[in-house]
Amino acid sequence: MQITRTQMIALIAVLALAWQSGAAQKTAGTVAAANSAAPAPAPSGKAGESGSEPGLRDRYPRYKLRPGDVFDVAFELSPEFNQTVSVQPDGYITLRGIGDVHVAEQTVPQLTATLRTAYENILHDPLISVTLKDFEKPYFIADGQVGRPGKYDLRGTTTLTEAIAMAGGFQETAKHSQVLLFRRVDDNWVSAKIFNVKKMEKSGNLGEDPTLHPGDMLFVPKNRFSKIKPFLPTSSMGTFAKTY
């Protein structure tokens, strides 16, 4: 049977459509298989929230209660339970009508929730507010070759170079290029970083000058010259001594 030109074109068109349909089905199957094999995306979340990457911490951490802290507890509907409470050395407090409750390392919102739970046994839906009265003020420690080593109040934003100035500046025995900044990450880990304060001050660029966090400790080591200075001759004694 002889195939006309028109029939040939129609046959080619049908074969092309069939090939495209098969290719599309194959591509869809490949994409579906890839999607099923790929891991599910991690849930989004801010630092410090569930689903966030481990190791990320709140930028503005809340204060946590420590032994010796004192706070007021006020009951809006039951003022007879109002009291001033002190955190004992073991982290417990003694509540009126309740007894001992452990609250160390709790933030104020966590403490409020703990108190509400404790008093729900004797009060219906208690409305409680907590006000810190006496607590450990933010501080930093300066040690090593500074003019006045010690513990200083951390008031407002304070950088490393400002903290050194507050501590009396560098002594002549200080190694300006290797100032260590220690920062407690948790109960078992303290991070340490070295800063070249000499380079920052010489270049006039304090862009790398870190901001101190409460509890930070800076340490300024001795320079190399100060370590050998005791063995160098002084002006009161000769460089050489005669031997007999």
**For residues 145 and 180, is the Cβ–Cβ distance under 8 A?**
no
Instruction: Calculate mean pLDDT across residues 142-165.
Output: 92
Q: Give me the mean pLDDT over the 197-217 stretch.
A: 88
Instruction: Choose between 191 and 229: higher pLDDT.
Output: 191
Radius of gyration from C-alpha coordinates of the chain: 35
**72-101: pLDDT as tens digits:** 999 999 999 999 999 999 999 999 999 999
Average pLDDT, the chain: 77
Q: What's the confidence (pLDDT) of residue 18?
A: 55
Backbone CA torsion sign across 118, 123, 124, 127: negative
- What mean pLDDT is predicted for residues 40-54? 40
Q: What is the pLDDT, as a whole number, of residue 17? A: 54
d(CA 35, CA 51): 22
pLDDT at position 137 is 82
Confidence of residue 205 (pLDDT cuts 50, 70, 90): confident
Q: How far apart are CA 75 and CA 83, in angstroms?
A: 9
Domains parsed from the chain with CATH numbers: 70-134 (3.30.1950.10), 139-228 (3.10.560.10)
Contacts of 98 (CB under 8 A, 6+ apart): 118, 119, 121, 122
